[in-house]
Amino acid sequence: MTFGGQSRSLWTAIAFIPILLVAIAALQQRIDAQTSTIAKEQEELLVRSGRVAKNLSLGYDSLLADVYWTRAVQYYGGRVGLPGATFDLLWPLLDVTTTLDSHLMPAYRFGAIFLSEQGEVGAGRPDLAIELVKRGIAANPGEWRLQTDLGFLYYWRVRDYKNAAAAYWQASKNPAAPVWAKLMAARIAQKGGSIETSRMIWSELYESTKDPNVKKIAAQQLLSLKAQDDQAHLDKLAAEYAKRFGHDPASIQDMVAAGLLTGVPADPAGFAYVLAPGGKSRLNPNSPMAIERLADRAPR
């Protein structure tokens, strides 16, 4: 390209800058206008297309993304707490924002909170919040905080413990992630019923950590998982006893007498398991493992 050609291209780009600024100003005025009917809101949505906005940005994607993110915050802030408030335009605003700038972390992290909150303080759309964070992870694979945000959404908003544990575990693989990401993965997997996943995570943590406190916690949790396995086995044998004799066993000794056990099993701390009414096994109240479990369940 000749110098003259380069000069013309430069002046052409410069000439577009005022047009872009005017377009941004007009866009802000449109966003600021209060939408009194659903029809009007739908009209706004037609303007708020990420693909169209990106095509019209003339390379100023980040600048326009900041405008959209600012408007998303203002839109949310202007409605939060209002009786009967709706947040129908929140997702489109966040969608456009992250389409224009896929590395704008606050839009993913705080936007997910805005979307997932229930009632008058959010859109009540954890599904869209999860979609938004997943988009952020795909565009920013090195950001472990987005993985923990995803774990939080799965755990707290939709009670999907399997995916919550997986998200925290994925975050923990990042060298920059704190050790608590593994702790959260293991704890959620354990409480969510995935004992095998939890055992794998706690075992890996026990072998890899150099922190004595974390190693102690991991060891305790592995023992707790062993006790859970024992109790599940005892419950299965108690059900077999009830099927055979027509009533629940009154004690572990009843199952020993029936030949279902060769002896009274003990938990990892050495205390014999006991049966509760209904034939369900439980830790001996005198066992330190039972005391630890009660402490773990106590309100913080």
What is the average pLDDT across 79-107? Answer: 92
The closest of 126, 122, 174 to 147, measured between CA atoms, is 174
Residue 245 resides in a domain? yes
pLDDT beyond 70 at 17:
no
Residue 41 resides in a domain? yes
pLDDT band at 31 (very low <50, low <70, confident <90, very high): low
Helix H or strand E encompassing 132: helix 126-139
Residue 220 resides in a domain? no
Residue 26 resides in a domain? yes
Taken in order 174, 175, 176, 178, is the CA torsion positive or negative? positive
What is the average pLDDT across 221-247? Answer: 94
Q: Does 127 or 68 have the greater pLDDT score?
A: 127
Residue 56 resides in a domain? yes
Residue 4 resides in a domain? no
User: 72: domain range?
Assistant: 13-140
- pTM (whole model) above 0.75: no
**Residues 128 and 19 placed together within one structural domain of the fold:** yes
Residue 270 resides in a domain? yes
Average pLDDT along the chain: 82
User: Could you give the number of structural domains in the chain?
Assistant: 2
**Is 148 within 8 Å of 168 (Cβ atoms)?**
yes
Residue 98 resides in a domain? yes
pLDDT beyond 50 at 190:
yes
Helix H or strand E encompassing 274: strand 274-276
Q: Does 290 or 78 have the greater pLDDT score?
A: 78
Q: Using N-to-C axis directions, what is the helix angle for 38-47 and 3-32, rounded to 10°?
A: 170
Cα distance from N-terminal residue to C-terminal residue, the chain: 69
pLDDT band at 244 (very low <50, low <70, confident <90, very high): very high
Q: Which of 108, 140, 172 is the last residue of a domain?
A: 140
- Residue 108: count of CB within 10 angstroms of its CB: 27
> What residues have CB less than 8 Å from 293, skipping those under 6 apart?
224, 283
**Residues 127 and 243 placed together within one structural domain of the fold:** no
**Residues 130 and 246 placed together within one structural domain of the fold:** no
Paired tokens of 14: 């410069």
Q: Which of 110, 140, 170 is the last residue of a domain?
A: 140
- What pLDDT does residue 187 have? 87
pLDDT (tens digit per residue) in 96-116: 999 999 999 999 999 999 999
Helix H or strand E encompassing 211: none
Q: Which of 140, 164, 183 is the last residue of a domain?
A: 140
